[in-house]
Amino acid sequence: MAEILIVDDSRTSRKFLREILERNGHTIVAEAVNGEDGYLKYKEFRPQIVTMDITMPVMNGVESLSLIKKENPEAVVLMITAVGQKDKMIEAVKRGADEFILKPFNEAEIIGALERI
Ligand SMILES: [Mg+2]
């Protein structure tokens, strides 16, 4: 069971992720609405795991991932990606992403990804 920070600009996505994670015994320590907010909340809450959307205003998920990994190379960041984001996914791997989950969400896939990390 982990303490998790959800970073996603979509309120619906955040709500859906929270429901799945809480139902499986995890604790959501905070939610962030863009990459910059995610980085600041990471520093504030030091969650064990971050779920990171890619496409967000202000700062995207790949840039936020970089900042978080610079802050703490041991940070565990699980990227949430949509179809057609292959370039962004490759960039995220280079910057140290730990796992990927494809939108639309599927509970079994999310739980499987969390078990792998
Ligand atoms: Mg988004």
Give 10 Cα–ligand 1 centroid separation in angstroms. Answer: 6
pLDDT in the model for residue 105: 83
As for how many domains the chain has, the answer is 1
Residue 53 CA to ligand 1 center (angstroms) comes to 6
Over the stretch 84-99, which tens digit does the pLDDT of each residue have? 888 999 999 999 999 9
- Give the predicted TM-score (pTM) of the model: 0.95
- Residue 80 belongs to domain with CATH number: 3.40.50.2300
Question: For residue 3, what pLDDT is reported?
Answer: 98
Q: What is the pLDDT of residue 117?
A: 87
Domain interval for residue 81: 3-116
Could you tell me the distance, in angstroms and rounded to a whole number, from the CA of residue 31 to the centre of ligand 1? 13
Distance 79 CA to ligand 1 centre (A): 11
Q: What is the chain's alpha carbon radius of gyration, rounded to the nearest angstrom? A: 12
Provide the strand spans (E) within the chain: 3-7, 27-32, 49-53, 76-81, 99-102
The residue whose two tokens read 């565990």 is 76
Tell me, what amino acid is at 89? Answer: M
Parts of the chain with a pLDDT under 70 = none
pLDDT of residue 54: 95
For residue 100, the SS3 value is strand
State the distance from the centre of ligand 1 to the C-alpha of 112, rounded, in angstroms.
22
What integer pLDDT is reported at residue 104 of this predicted model? 85
Ligand 1 centre distance from Cα of residue 3 (Å): 22
- Reduced to 3 states, what is the DSSP secondary structure of residue 19? helix
Please give the backbone phi and psi of residue 61, each rounded to the nearest 5 degrees, phi first.
-70, -30
Look at residue 55 in the predicted model and tell me its pLDDT.
Answer: 94
